[in-house]
Amino acid sequence: MTTDLRICPICEATCGLTLTIEDGRVTGARGDAEDVFSAGFICPKGASFAELDGDPHRLTGPLVRRDGQLVEVSWTEAFDAVAEGLGAVLAEHGGKSVGVYVGNPNAHTVAGALYGSMVIKALGTRSVFSASTLDQMPKQVALGHLLGNPFAFAVPDLDRTEHLVIIGANPLVSNGSLATAPDFPGKLKALRKRGGKLTVIDPARTRTAALADWHLAPRPGTDAALLFAVVHVLFDEDLVAEDLGGIAAHVRGVDEVRTLAADFPPEAVAAYCDIAADDIRTLAREIAAARSAAVYGRMGTTTVEFGTVGSWLIEVINVLTGNLDRPGGVLFPLSATAAKPRPPRPGRGFATGRWHSRVSGHPEVASELPAAALAEEIDTPGDGQLKALITIAGNPVLSAPDGERLTRALAGLGFMISIDPYLNATTRHADVILPPPPPSQSPHYDFVLNNLAVRNNARYSPPVLPLDGRPDETEILARIALLIFGVGVHADPALPDEQVIRGALTKEVADPDSPVAGRDVDELIAMLAIGPGYERRLDMMLRLGPYGDGFGADPAGLTLQRLLDAPHGVDLGPPRPRLPEVLRTPSGQLELAPLPLVADTLRLREALDRRADGLLLIGRRQLRSNNSWMHLPGGTNRCTLQIHPDDAAELGLTDVAVVKGPGGELLIPVEVTDGIRPGVVSIPHGWAEANVNRLNDGSVLDPLSSTSVLNGIPVEVSAVDPVPSG
C-alpha cells in the first residue's frame, strides 16, 4: 500500500487529497493536512474519490456506432472513425458547420483548459456553446462592461471580511463557486467567530441561510430590484464611502448610477421583492457601516431574468461602499499562470453581439452562443445549419432547457463526437465516444479556478497512476485538432503544443514589458521541462507569470520543477489590490454605469409592476451530487419537489405531484418543508428520471448575456394520487 497526492477535480474548492493506492488502483482518499490551500478539508464527494475513479460505469475504451449500435473498438479504430466522419463533414461543409458544446468539467481538467480552445480555433466555428450560458455568463458580461475584462472576477475576501452578504448561493452545499475556497463552511463559521456578520438572501432556508445571522427570503428573480434599492439607500442616506475607499480616481459614472437609483426607493420595490422596505434600508446601512464587507452573488443572481443587471449591481454596491479591491472586501486574485501584470493601459473594452445565432438571432457573448439555442441550430434547416457536434465534458440534454428537443435534434445530426467518460442522455447520441481516463491517470493543475482563489497558490498533481494503454484527454483533443489542421489524426500529438509554445514565446520576446523581452525563442524553448506537452506549456506559463522565474531572470521564481518539489503546493499569499492594472476599458477607468446596463434598467423598472400569482420554480444543489454525472447514494440525495406546507395543503399534495412548466411536465415525489418560502418550489437539476429542464422551453434568456433563466420559472403544481400498490 502506498499513498500519493492529488487535487480533487470535482468542484471549485480544489481540495488536496491523499490517496491510498493498492494493487495499482486508488482505494481511499482523505484530506491532505499539509496542503497549503485546503489544509486537510474534504467533503463527502472528495472522500468518495476512489469510488468515482474506479466507477464500473466508466467507459474503459472508445465506442463507435456501427449499424446503429455503439460498439467497443480499439483506439486506432476510434480515431479512424473520427477522421472519416468528421473529415467528411469538414470536406463537404467546412469547420463552421461543426458545433462544439463545452461542459462544466472543462473548468477542472488540464485538457479542458489548454486543448478545448485549440479544437475550436482549428474549426474556426462560431457555433460554440457551453455551460456558461446556463451559469455565470451574466457575471462575466457585467465585469466585461465594468472593467473591460470579462474574466476579472472579484472574489470575496472570506478570511478577512467583517460582513459577508451571500445572495443566491449555497456554499455549504456547493462548496463555493466563483470563489475557490476549500472549507467554505469553516470559513463562514470563522467569520462569525471573529465577530463578523453573515447575511444570506435566498428564497430557500438553505444550510447556508440556516447558519446566517440574518436571512432574507425574496421572491425569486427580484434581486436586481432589491440591489438597486440598496444602492438607492446608499445615496439617499449619504452612505457612499469617502473616495470610494481609495479607488475614486479610477471610477467613472457614479452620478449616472445615482440618477438611475432614484427610481428604486425601497418602498417602490418592497412588494415586488416581498421584502420589507425597512429591511432593505437596514441591509444597506449594515453593509456601509461594516469595517469591511463583501457582497457575493452566484446561481440565484445569474440564471434569472435580470442576471446581468443583478451581477452589475452587486459590484456597484461593493464599489460604493469602498469594498472593491480592498482587503476584507472583494479582491482580484492573481494566478500563477496568468500573464505577468503589465503597466496599466487602456484596453479594447468589451462588446457582445459581434455575431448572432442563425435561428433566433441571439447575440454572441464572450465568443459563445446560448446553450439554449443548440437544439434549434441543429434541427432548423437552411444555410449554416449545424452538421456535426463535438461535446467535451458536457451533458446538455439534462443541463440545458428543453432536453426533449435536443434529444431529437442530436438523433438527427450527421456526425457527433463525445469526449466523455460516461454513456448518458447526451453521449448516447454520439457516433464516436472517446472516454478520457479516470482522474488518477490524469494530471491536475487549476488553470481556471486559481483565477478565483481566495488565496493565491499554485499546486500541481502529475498523474498518480500510469495510463492503462489509452490516450489521456489532452491527447484525445490534440488528435482531433491535428485532424482539423489537416495533419492527420495519427500525427504526433505533441505538435500542437510545440506550435502553441513557439507562438506564445515569439510574442513574449517582442513585448518590451515581458520578463523575456528580446531573448531568443529557441534558447527559451530549450529551457522548458522535458515531458508531456501540457507540462511544457505549464512550465512556460509559470515562468512567464507573475511569480515566475522569467526563464532565469529571477532564480527564486516559480517553475514546474519548483511545483514538483513542493507536492503540497506553494502558497502565494492573500490577494492584493490590483486596480488600475486589471482595467481594460477604453477609458482606462472602471465604468460604473456602462451603457448596455443603463439601458436594461428600463426593463427592470417595468417589471416592478408585475406580480405573478402562481408558484415559481427554483433549483437546488445537493451535497452528494454533482450536476448530472455524480449522484452518490444515501443521505437526502433524492430528486424531489420541495414545497412549503401551506402551498402543499392548499393544493392537496401528498406523495407525488405533476409539475407543469412552459416547456413540458413531469411527475415527481413531493417533499413538504418549511425550508422554502411560500409561493416557491424547488427541484434539483441533473436527474435523468425527473429532468427539471423539461419544464423549461428555453425561450427566456437574460438578453444581455444570452443566459437561460433557470430560476424563477412559473409552474403549475397539482396532486397525483399515488398508484395503488399490489
Residue whose C-alpha is closest to residue 478's, from 533, 417, 438: 533
Binding of ligand SF4 by 15 (CB under 6 A): yes
The window from 43-51, 189-197, 406-414, 693-701 that contacts ligand SF4 (CB under 6 A) reads: 43-51
Which of 5, 6, 8, 437 binds ligand SF4 (CB under 6 A)? It is 8
Binding of Mo ion by 12 (CB under 5 A): no
Grid coordinates representing 399?
Answer: 443541463
Based on CB atoms, which residue is closest to ligand SF4, 45 or 536? 45
Grid coordinates representing 141?
Answer: 458580461
Cβ-closest residue to ligand SF4? 46
DSSP 341: P
Which of 5, 19, 26, 43 binds ligand SF4 (CB under 6 A)? It is 43
Backbone angles phi, psi at 101, to 5 degrees: -115, 125
Which of 12, 35, 135, 508 binds Mo ion (CB under 5 A)? It is 135
User: Which of Mo ion, ligand MGD, ligand SF4, none lies near 14, with the C-beta cut-off 5 to 8 A by kind?
Assistant: ligand SF4
Within positions 159 to 178, which residues make up the interface with ligand SF4, using CB under 6 A?
A: 175
Based on CB atoms, which residue is closest to Mo ion, 137 or 458? 137
Cα–Cα dist 38/449, whole Å: 14
Q: Which residues bind ligand MGD (CB under 6 A)?
A: 11, 103-105, 109, 131, 134-135, 167-171, 173-175, 177, 201-204, 206, 218, 220-221, 223, 298-300, 304, 392-396, 399, 419-422, 424, 436, 473, 618-623, 625-629, 685-686, 692-693, 710-712
Based on CB atoms, which residue is closest to ligand MGD, 532 or 550? 532
Q: In 333-414, at which residue ranges do the beta strands (DSSP E only) sit?
A: 388-392
Based on CB atoms, which residue is closest to ligand MGD, 109 or 318? 109
- With vertex at residue 581, the alpha carbon angle to CA 326 and CA 255, rounded to the nearest 5 degrees, is 65
Residues 188-213, buried b or exposed e (16+ Cβ, 10 A)? beebeeeebbbbbbbbbbbebbebbe
User: Which of ligand MGD, ligand SF4, Mo ion, none lies near 13, with the C-beta cut-off 5 to 8 A by kind?
Assistant: ligand SF4
Cα–Cα dist 234/30, whole Å: 46
- With vertex at residue 154, the alpha carbon angle to CA 153 and CA 159, rounded to the nearest 5 degrees, is 130
> From the CB of 628, what's the least distance to Mo ion, in Å?
11
Helix (H, G, I), strand (E, B) or coil at 175: coil
Backbone angles phi, psi at 163, to 5 degrees: -150, 115
Q: Say if strands 415-419 and 570-571 run parallel, antiparallel, or are unpaired.
A: unpaired
**Contact letters (x/-) for ligand SF4, 171-210, by CB under 6 A?**
----x------x----------------------------
Binding of ligand SF4 by 477 (CB under 6 A): no
Cα–Cα dist 37/394, whole Å: 28
Query: In the chain, what are the helix, strand and coil shares in percent, each to the nearest 5?
Result: 35, 20, 45
Contact partners, residue 238, CB within 8 Å, separation at least 6:
none
Which of 18, 19, 32, 45 binds ligand SF4 (CB under 6 A)? It is 45
User: Which of Mo ion, ligand MGD, ligand SF4, none lies near 42, with the C-beta cut-off 5 to 8 A by kind?
Assistant: ligand SF4
DSSP 721: P
Are residues 370 and 701 in contact, defined by beta-carbon separation less than 8 angstroms?
yes
User: Which of Mo ion, ligand MGD, ligand SF4, none lies near 422, with the C-beta cut-off 5 to 8 A by kind?
Assistant: ligand MGD
User: Which of ligand MGD, Mo ion, ligand SF4, none lies near 396, with the C-beta cut-off 5 to 8 A by kind?
Assistant: ligand MGD
State the residues that interact with Mo ion by CB under 5 A.
135
Binding site for ligand SF4 (CB under 6 A): 8, 10-11, 13-15, 42-43, 45-46, 175, 182
